[in-house]
Structures are given as C-alpha cells and as structure tokens.
C-alpha cells in the first residue's frame, strides 16, 4: 500500500497533490528547538545528583521544580510536538489528499507553543498539581484539550477525504492516538480531580502508563512504520501482522496501570490483573518488532550509509528491550528489587529517548529536506549526532540499570543504612552525568543540523 501511495506521490499520476506543509514545518521546527533547550535542563538535573548544592539556594532552580520542567518539556515540548508535526507530514501523503486545513493546523502549532511557554513559567513558579506527567495547572490542561481536538479533527477530516480505500497501518495508529490520547489525558487530568487517595493514584497510574503506552507508542510506531519502508525503499513485510500488533495493543495496554503500585497499598487482585496484562504486552511488541525486522531482511547493509535508518532500527531494538523490561518489572519478585530505584529512570529513558525520540529524530531528518526543499545541511554531522546519542544513551541506560539493581539489593539488606546506599550510587550518577553530556552533544548536532537546513545555509536542492 505504501508503494502504491508513493508511486502516486512521486509520479503525480492523476491529479498531483500539492502539500503545503506549513503546519508540519511549524511543529517540527519548534519541537527541535525545545529538544535543545530542555536538554540543558536535563544536564543541570543530572549534575545536581553529583553536586547537590549547585544552584541550590534559588527557589526556581531547585531540583523539585526543574525535574517536572524536564519531563514535561521533553514529553510535550519536544517529543509529542515532533510526533504531531510528523503526523501532519505523513497522513496527507498516505491519504493522497492535502491536509484538511492548514489554517487550523498553524493555529494548533501556535497554541501548542503557548502551552509550552505557559508550562515553563508555571512549573518554575512551583505551580505543580502534584501528579506525575500531569503537573500542569488546570487552565493549561484545558488548552491542551483544545489543541488536541484541533489536531485530531484536522487529521480525521484528512483521513475521511483519502484517495485510497485501504488504510496503511500508520493511519490506524494515528487514529488510535487521537482517540486514546483524548481519554487518557482526561483520565489523568480531569477524573483525578474528583477522587482521593488510592482511587486517585489508580487513575493517575492509568494515565502515566498509557501516556507512554497509548500516546507515545502508537504515534511513535506510526512514524516507524512509515519511515522504515520509506528510508530503506522496501515494502513492509506484512500488513496482517501489523494489524495483530495494533489490535492487541488497543486491547491490552489500558489494563496495566496498577503495576505501578505492586506491593503497595492497593488491592492484591488488581495488582495481579495488572501483572497478567503486563505480560500480555509482549504480544503486540513481538508483532511489531518481528514485522519491522522482517522488512529489513536483506537490507541491513543500508544501515551503513543511511542515518535515519540507523536511528529507526536502533529505536526498534530499544523498543523491544524496553517492552521486555516492562513486563518483567511487573513480576512481584523482580519488582521487589528494581521498583523505586534508579533502574526505573534507566528504563524510562530507553523508552522515551532510545525508542520514541530516535523514531522522531529519524522522521525529522527524513522530512526536513523534503519540507524545505533543500539537502540536509551535513550528512557527517547527522552521523555524529547518531553516535553521540547512541553512546550517551547506552551509557545512561546501562549504568542506571546496574546501579539501580545494586541499590535494590542494598535496600533489601536492612543492615545497610539508607545514606550508605546513597553514597554507593555516587559513581553511577557521575557516569550518568557524563553520558548526559554525550547525549546533549548529540542533541546539539541534531538541532543545529536541522536549523541550518531550515534557514538554508545549503543552497543545494534536495535530491
């Protein structure tokens, strides 16, 4: 199907569709900028673990205020915005139809930037609702809902006007994201307001888990499914298998929120349900990963020269690892060791940076030259950005897993005073800081490369 679409796209058979892409451009350019800015905050936070008095006497630079800014900035300022921009690029092309309304799209992009700036100011001022991933104050939440409705309406209308009957898998994933995000977001930011205690925590974890599982996963996979065949010029291995992956994801993910409270003050039977469904997550993951790997069969040599493909396939590997870890953490015995330790940020960063940001970076590298009609500023720099992010990322994940596992063992040995378990992790946090420097260098190279292409320092036309 993708080939059919691409033939129409390339040869202009029939009425050639002209894509204006103003919306995609706005989203992508601003998200890349936030990736860079929030990267600085990430470095500061990592430094505070090693030098806790750093910037310590200024209230708005304290750890507890920078951390939510880092998380929200990366999730909503960078990743979701980049994903939305790429969806605005991908969907019209898969539908063979122009975006339903560029005006509405650009307005969405402007609103999104207002939200991100509002988040920066309110979070630094300490206006924090106290729920992870749902820190933003209610008026910002309301704006997010409005922006999401604008985004969703625009894409759904585009899909409704599509030229091809059958829908490529990326279209389902984007549709899924539109629906699920709306409800997941309302659960985490609205329903929680009317509850307390364990009930509220249960809603909060449902939201936290599905922010990753039903927002970043489906939109990330939509991008991977589009750009892997595109970047490698190879058709997708199996349409049917992609369907298995999609519908099992749709069914299984919502059930697993309570696995964030294993051994905690929440009903045992609910924990057990969450564990059972967490294990079932292996099904959609396997279906997706098998499909994408089978697509690459005989094509792996392309990875040597092709930077977007490097990011994409490394992202798939990280996706597999992350989604293997997740179900394992939910097992009671494993959970008793790794839960609440530094293992968890290692795991979370592999999902959000290693898998989904890698997909978004690849999509951006692929789309930017097409959007602005210029060759990428520098291929060599793009390759360096890959290696910096890869080395930094691996350093980050692996040291935190080892450190976190060790920390968990120590906690379970009650003879060791807590403070000794803090001191023991100092070397781990130092390595994490330096890994962060590598990652940040990768982000700088990526952002610079994209921005240089956008402003047109290379006059060479895109191939």
Partner 1 sequence: MFRKADTSAAWAFILATLLFFIGGLLTTVVPPMVDKSWAKPFKNADPAKGITGELKPLGSLEQQGRAIYQREGCWYCHTQQVRTILADTKRYGWRGVDAPVSTPDEFVFDSPHMFGTKRTGPDLARVGGKYNEQWHRTHFKNPRELVPGSIMPPYPWIANNPAEFKALLAYMQSLGRAKEWRPANDYEK
Cβ-contact 396, 346 below 8 angstroms: yes
Q: Among 10, 166, 419, 463, which residue interacts with ligand HEC (rule: CB under 6 A)?
A: 419
Residues 83-102, one symbol each (x = binds partner 1 by CB under 8 A, - = not), give: --------------------
The CA distance from 45 to 42, in Å, is: 5
Query: Restricting to residues 108-167, which ones interact with ligand HEC according to CB under 6 A?
Result: none
Query: In the beta sheet, which residues pair with residue 19?
Result: none
Nearer to ligand HEC, 124 or 394 (CB): 124
Cα 356 to Cα 83, 349, 360, 403: the distances in Å are: 9, 10, 6, 24
Q: Report which of 265, 256, 269 is spatially closest to residue 206, judged by C-alpha positions.
A: 256
Cβ-contact 129, 63 below 8 angstroms: no
The CA distance from 264 to 198, in Å, is: 10
The CA distance from 442 to 459, in Å, is: 24
The CA distance from 369 to 450, in Å, is: 9
The CA distance from 174 to 215, in Å, is: 9
Q: Among 37, 104, 106, 156, which residue interacts with partner 1 (rule: CB under 8 A)?
A: 156
Residue 391 partner contact from ligand HEC, partner 1, none using kind-dependent CB cut-offs of 5 to 8 Å = none
DSSP one-letter code for 461: B
Length of the chain in terms of residues written: 463
CB of 274 to partner 1, least distance (A): 8
The CA distance from 446 to 36, in Å, is: 9
CB of 413 to ligand HEC, least distance (A): 17
Query: Restricting to residues 20-59, which ones interact with partner 1 according to CB under 8 A?
Result: 48-49, 52-53, 56-57, 59
Cβ-contact 271, 258 below 8 angstroms: yes
Task: Examine residue 180 and tell whether it contacts partner 1 (CB under 8 A).
Answer: yes
Q: Which stretch binds partner 1 (CB under 8 A): 30-38, 168-176, 322-330, 389-397?
A: 168-176
Task: Examine residue 264 and tell whether it contacts partner 1 (CB under 8 A).
Answer: yes
Tell me if residue 262 falls in helix, strand or coil: coil
**DSSP per residue, 74-130:** IIIIIIIHHHHHHHHHHHHHHHTS--S-HHHHHHHHHHHHHHHHHHHHHHHTT---S
Residue 373 partner contact from partner 1, ligand HEC, none using kind-dependent CB cut-offs of 5 to 8 Å = none
CB of 58 to partner 1, least distance (A): 9
Nearer to partner 1, 182 or 317 (CB): 182
Task: Examine residue 455 and tell whether it contacts ligand HEC (CB under 6 A).
Answer: no
The CA distance from 433 to 199, in Å, is: 37
Nearer to partner 1, 200 or 378 (CB): 200
Query: Restricting to residues 191-220, which ones interact with ligand HEC according to CB under 6 A?
Result: none
Cα 317 to Cα 255, 292, 321: the distances in Å are: 25, 10, 6
Nearer to ligand HEC, 412 or 426 (CB): 426
Task: Examine residue 63 and tell whether it contacts ligand HEC (CB under 6 A).
Answer: yes
Number of chain residues interacting with ligand HEC (CB under 6 A): 5
The helix or strand, by DSSP H or E, that contains position 433, with its residue range, turns out to be helix 426-455
Residue 127 partner contact from partner 1, ligand HEC, none using kind-dependent CB cut-offs of 5 to 8 Å = partner 1
Query: Restricting to residues 210-229, which ones interact with partner 1 according to CB under 8 A?
Result: 214
Task: Examine residue 344 and tell whether it contacts partner 1 (CB under 8 A).
Answer: yes
Q: Which stretch binds partner 1 (CB under 8 A): 86-94, 172-180, 363-371, 395-403?
A: 172-180
Q: Which stretch binds partner 1 (CB under 8 A): 114-122, 258-266, 360-368, 431-439?
A: 258-266
The CA distance from 316 to 346, in Å, is: 17
Nearer to ligand HEC, 400 or 447 (CB): 400
Q: Which stretch binds ligand HEC (CB under 6 A): 25-33, 87-95, 102-110, 417-425?
A: 417-425
Q: Among 125, 294, 422, 455, which residue interacts with ligand HEC (rule: CB under 6 A)?
A: 422
Nearer to partner 1, 2 or 214 (CB): 214
CB atoms within 10 A of CB 12: 11
Binding site for ligand HEC (CB under 6 A): 63-64, 418-419, 422
């Amino acid at each position: 199907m993708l080939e059919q679409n691409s033939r129409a796209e390339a040869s202009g058979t029939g009425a050639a569709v002209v894509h204006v892409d103003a919306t995609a451009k706005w989203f992508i350019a601003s998200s890349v900028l936030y990736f860079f800015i929030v990267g600085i905050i990430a470095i500061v936070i990592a430094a505070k673990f090693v030098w806790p008095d750093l910037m310590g006497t200024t209230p708005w630079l304290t750890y507890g205020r920078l951390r939510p800014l880092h998380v929200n900035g990366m999730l909503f300022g960078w990743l979701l915005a980049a994903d939305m921009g790429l969806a605005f690029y991908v969907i019209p092309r898969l539908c063979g139809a122009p975006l339903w309304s560029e005006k509405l799209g650009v307005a969405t992009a402007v609103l999104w930037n207002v939200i991100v700036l509002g988040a920066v100011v309110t979070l630094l001022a300490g206006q924090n609702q106290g729920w992870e991933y749902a820190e933003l104050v209610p008026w910002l939440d309301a704006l997010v809902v409005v922006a999401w409705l604008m985004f969703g309406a625009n894409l759904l209308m585009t899909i409704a006007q599509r030229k091809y009957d059958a829908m490529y898998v990326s279209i389902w994933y984007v549709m899924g994201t539109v629906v699920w995000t709306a409800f997941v977001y309302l659960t985490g930011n609205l329903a929680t307001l009317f509850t307390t205690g364990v009930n509220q925590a249960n809603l909060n974890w449902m939201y936290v888990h599905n922010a990753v599982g039903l927002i970043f996963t489906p939109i990330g996979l939509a991008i991977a499914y589009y750009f892997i065949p595109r970047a490698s010029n190879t058709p997708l291995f199996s349409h049917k298998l992609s369907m298995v992956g999609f519908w099992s994801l749709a069914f299984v993910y919502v059930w697993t929120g309570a696995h964030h409270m294993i051994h905690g003050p929440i009903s045992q039977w609910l924990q057990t349900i969450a564990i059972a469904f967490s294990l079932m997550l292996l099904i959609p993951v396997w279906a997706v990963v098998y499909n994408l790997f089978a697509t690459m069969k005989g094509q792996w040599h392309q990875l040597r020269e092709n930077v977007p493909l490097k990011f994409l396939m490394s992202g798939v590997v990280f996706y597999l690892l992350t989604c293997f870890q997740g179900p394992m953490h939910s097992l009671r015995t494993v959970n008793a060791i790794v839960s609440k330790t530094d293992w968890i940020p290692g795991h979370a960063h592999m999902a959000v940076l290693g898998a989904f940001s890698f997909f978004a970076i690849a999509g951006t590298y692929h789309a930017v030259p097409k959007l602005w009609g210029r060759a990428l500023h520098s291929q060599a720099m793009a390759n360096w950005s890959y290696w910096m992010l890869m080395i930094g990322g691996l350093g980050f994940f692996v040291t935190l897993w080892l450190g976190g596992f060790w920390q968990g063992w120590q906690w379970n040995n009650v003879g060791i005073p807590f403070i000794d378990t803090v001191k023991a992790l100092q070397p781990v946090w130092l390595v994490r800081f330096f890994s962060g420097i590598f990652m940040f260098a990768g982000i700088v190279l990526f952002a610079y490369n994209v921005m240089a292409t956008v402003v047109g320092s290379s006059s060479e036309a895109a191939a």
